[in-house]
Amino acid sequence: MMPRQYKVNACLAFVLAMVFYLFWQICKLQPALAHVATFTEDPYDAVGSFGTQFAMFTALLSIVRAFRPYSPGTLDRQQVLFVRGAYLTCLSVAVTLGADIIAMLRYPSVWIGLPAGLMLAALVGGMALFTALIGWCIQHIARVSIAPYTHHGRARAISISLAGAIICVLYPENWREGIAVGGFSTVFILFTAVMGMVIFIISVWAWEITTSPPLEMPGEDFIDDLSALYRWFKGHTGHFSVLLMPFEKALGSSLLRPIVNGLNPRKDRWYGIALIGILIGVVFAFGEGHLHPPIGLLAVFASIECLGVLLGYAVFLKPLELSRHNTKPTTAALKQQPFQ
C-alpha cells in the first residue's frame, strides 16, 4: 500500500474533480449564471466538457493507485505514476479555468455590472485558488518522497498555451452560431468542438511534461490496477467469491475470448477505446434533455467524444501508463489477471 500522505492527496484530487464538475454544471444549468457564463459556448464549452471528464478520470485513477495493494519493489514507480495522475487532475482544471477566463474577458459586457456576474467571478476565482492549493499539496509530496527532477519544456508549454489562448480570443463567432444538426452547419459545430478539444488536450500534455517527474522504468498499467482491485475484492468476499467464477469462466471461454483479445489495448487494439468514446457520446446526447435524440445529434456527440477519447488515449498512454504492449502473456499471468 502507498503511504498515508498519498491516500490523502488522492482524496483531495478526487474532491477537486468533484467540486469542479459541480462548478461546471452550476454555471451551465443555474439560470442566472448560465445567462452570464460566456464560456458555455464552443470552443470554450468543449474545453470545459473534456476538462471535467479528464479531471474525473485522472482523479479516479489516483484513487485506485493510492489504495490498491502492490507487489514488493514496484511502489516507487507507482508513486511517480500517482503524482503524474494527480498533477493532470489539477492541470485539467487549470487549463479549463484559463479558457473560462479568456471567454469572460472577451465578452465583459455580458457579466460585468450584474449580481450574477459578480457571483460568477467569485466562483471562478475560488475554483482557481482551490486548484492551486491542491496542486501545492501534490507538489509537496512529490518533493519530499520522490527523487528531485529537472523541469523542462516550459517554453514549449507557454508557447502552446499562448497559441490556444489566441485561438480562443480570435475564434469567429459565426462559426459557432446555430444549433441545427444536419447540413453545412454541422461542419462548423464539429470543427469548433474539435478545436476546443484539441486545445485542451495539447495544453494539458505540454504542461504535464514540465511538472511531472520522469519514469525510468515502466510501472504497472491501468489493467494491472484493475486486476489488483479485482483480486482484492475477490479475496474479501469470503464464500461469496464463488459467485465470481462464472464471470471469470465467461471471459476465458472460446466464445468471448476472441472478442476480449480484439478489444485488448495491450495487443495494440484500439477498438475498445473507440467503443468507450462512442458510448460516452451517446450518454451525453441523452443527457442533453432529449428522451429520443435525433440520429444526427447522436452522431455528432458520438463522433466528437470518440475522437476526443482516442486522442487523449494516444497522448496520455505512456505518461499515465494506461496500457503496456503485451505480446504473449504467460500462463501464470493469465491465471493471476482475469482482465489480461
| 55-109: pLDDT as tens digits | 999 999 999 999 998 887 778 888 989 999 999 999 999 999 999 999 999 999 9
Distance CA 126, CA 131 (A): 9
The owner of cell 477566463 is: 101
Phi/psi for 220 (5° steps) reads: -75, 140
Cis peptide before 43 (omega within 30 of 0): yes
Contact in structure between 84 and 24 (CB atoms under 8 Å): no
* 189 has pLDDT over 50: yes
d(CA 137, CA 70): 24
Percent of the chain with pLDDT over 70: 89
Work out the average pLDDT over 115-142.
95
Q: What is the CA radius of gyration of the chain?
A: 21
Q: Give pLDDT, residue 148.
A: 67
User: Which of 17-26, 65-74, 159-168 is predicted least confidently?
Assistant: 65-74
Whether the pLDDT of residue 336 is over 50: the answer is no
Helix-strand-coil percent breakdown of the chain, rounded to 5?
A: 75, 0, 25
* Percent over 90 (pLDDT), the chain: 55
Kindly indicate the confidence band of residue 338, based on its pLDDT and cuts at 50, 70 and 90.
Answer: very low
Give the Cα separation of 325 and 38 in Å (integer). 43
Local confidence band at 179 (pLDDT 50, 70, 90 cut-offs): very low
Least confident of 46-60, 291-305, 323-337: 323-337
Ranges of each domain in the chain: 1-152
pLDDT in tens, 194-244: 999 999 999 999 999 888 877 777 778 999 998 888 888 888 888 888 888
pLDDT at 6 over 50: yes
Determine the pLDDT at residue 9.
Answer: 95
